[in-house]
Amino acid sequence: MRRGKVAVAAGCCLSFFLGTLLNVFFIPGFEPHQQQPPRRGVPPAFAGSPFYWPGADRESQRSELARQIRERYQELLRYQKRQAPAAAARRLVRPLERRLMDLAQPRTSSEQTLRLEKGKAPQADSRGGPYPEAKVDLALSPPLLGCRDIHNVTSLHYLGSGYTKAVYKVVLNRTLAVALKSVDFGGHDIENCVKQYAALDACYRLASYKIVKEMILLQRLQHANILQLYGYCYQDSNDIPDTLTAITELGSPLEMIQLLQTSWEDRFRICLSLVRLLHYLAHSPLGSVTLLDFRPRQFVIVDGELKVTDLDDASIEESSCTSNRDCFIEFPARNFTLPCSVEGRCRNMNEKRNLYNAYR
């Protein structure tokens, strides 16, 4: 009797074990540690992305990216077409600019053909989406530095990066230190755009237009407290044609702890530089300019003077409004309600916003 009970228990255990084993190996759809193959036509990196839409949705996403590129391109044209007063056009060449002209080598015909006709309609690219031109010529006068000047640089050092750009320090002809700005392929803008649209070349063009905008503003806003633009270069890199590098004046980062350790004369000089910059931005040749990203990291020190270096987030558009109540700005000690113009814009909002951010 006892032997029968033991045999029954052993049979139950054996049957349970065999059933579990069969379920593990032969249950439909179960493949241990096997990844799903990527869908045809989709890069493996984006096959499982929540931002990927197949078929017609992919076309709509491509159209959305093309729309963003066209809007940013039109913004560049608005900044570029604004006429500067005659006094700014007849600006005297500074000694440093004369030195740069001496360093610059004669331009080749290919470098001189980087011209973009103003008002030219965007061209359709080979993928069916209408994209503007990749190259935007700034017509720097006088011409300073270009591609041939940065091919043989020395002492290359990485300085830092933000959402869009990476900045490097180089030395030209072993004598002049400058800063090189280019799109950061590992930055926030490129990474998020590629993750959503899976189009590296178009995402690069969208990000590079922010550098072009900054270059246009650096060229148009000539002031002692705004970084100088020395030149730029378009060249093929990383399987992407016409990658852009901006060549600018080099400065030291604004460190708040180091600033507190300087003499009161130096701090007063920096404070005076900031006041002069704010006054110029309120009455610039382009109108009132506001710095939407007003932080210490956007400024550098050059020969004891404070200079703004990052202008890709600047804007010349005043806030829209329908009544004075829409033009309310709150300061720590006092609030302001600015008048709403007949054009539907808050008067002097950009100037007040700069003052508030400088105080903060």
Annotated catalytic sites, by residue? 293
DSSP state for residue 319 in the 8-state scheme: P
Tell me the CB-side half-sphere exposure of residue 41, using CA atoms within 13 A: 5
Q: Sign (positive/negative) of CA torsion 229, 234, 239, 240?
A: positive
Q: Are 73 and 122 in contact (CB under 8 A)?
A: yes
> Phi and psi (nearest 5°) for 307?
-135, 140
SS3 content of the chain, % helix, strand, coil (to 5): 40, 20, 40
Q: What residues have CB less than 8 Å from 115, skipping those under 6 apart? A: 137, 139
d(CA 305, CA 271): 9
Residue 229 CA, distance from chain mean position: 16
Closest Cα partner for 249 from 302, 311, 312, 306? 302
Q: Does residue 254 contact residue 299 with C-beta atoms inside 8 Å?
A: yes
Strand partners, 272: none
The dihedral over CA atoms of 239, 247, 69, 190, expressed in degrees to the nearest 10, equals: 60
